[in-house]
Amino acid sequence: MSKIVEQRGVGLAVSVDTRSQPARVDDALTKAIADSATELGLPWQALPSGAGHDAQIVAGNAPIGMIFVPSINGLSHVPEEDTATADLAAGAEVLLSTALRL
């Protein structure tokens, strides 16, 4: 970022106002999600995430886990983000299977 500041001749000040710790996912819930994906014949991988979402709030009261589906061209958290309908459906199937499993 300092290179851009130098090239553009602008100033930059960064301050950290808040900092939160990542929420840990529940091992049993993570296993249930993985087992559901495997049972459905869907490829999966463990994915570390710095995602906060509601998980950080819920984690103080209940076990959490996350099911991620691929974004087209890997674009995430930008206006161009999109996900194929088939991938959304697969994620929903994993969620349903996991809920029934639990």
Q: What is the pTM of this model?
A: 0.77
Distance, in Å, from the CA atom of 22 to the CA atom of 90, rounded to the nearest integer, reads 26
In the chain, what is the greatest distance between 2 CA atoms, to the nearest angstrom?
A: 58
**Predicted pLDDT of residue 90:** 98
**Predicted pLDDT of residue 101:** 96
Distance, in Å, from the CA atom of 98 to the CA atom of 33, rounded to the nearest integer, reads 6
Cα–Cα distances in angstroms (integers) from residue 37 to residues 30, 42, 46, 98, in the given order: 11, 5, 12, 9
Tokens of 64: 């959490």
**Predicted pLDDT of residue 52:** 73
Residues in the chain: 102
The residue among 98 and 54 whose pLDDT is bigger is 98
- pLDDT digits 0-9 by tens, 38-75: 999 999 999 888 777 788 889 889 999 999 999 999 99
Helix orientation angle between 27-39 and 85-101, rounded to the nearest 10 degrees:
120
Residue type, 90: A
Mean pLDDT (whole number) for 3-22: 86
Mean pLDDT (whole number) for 77-98: 97
The whole-chain average pLDDT of the chain stands at 91
CA angle 46, 50, 55 (to 5 degrees): 90
Residues above pLDDT 70, as percent of the chain: 99
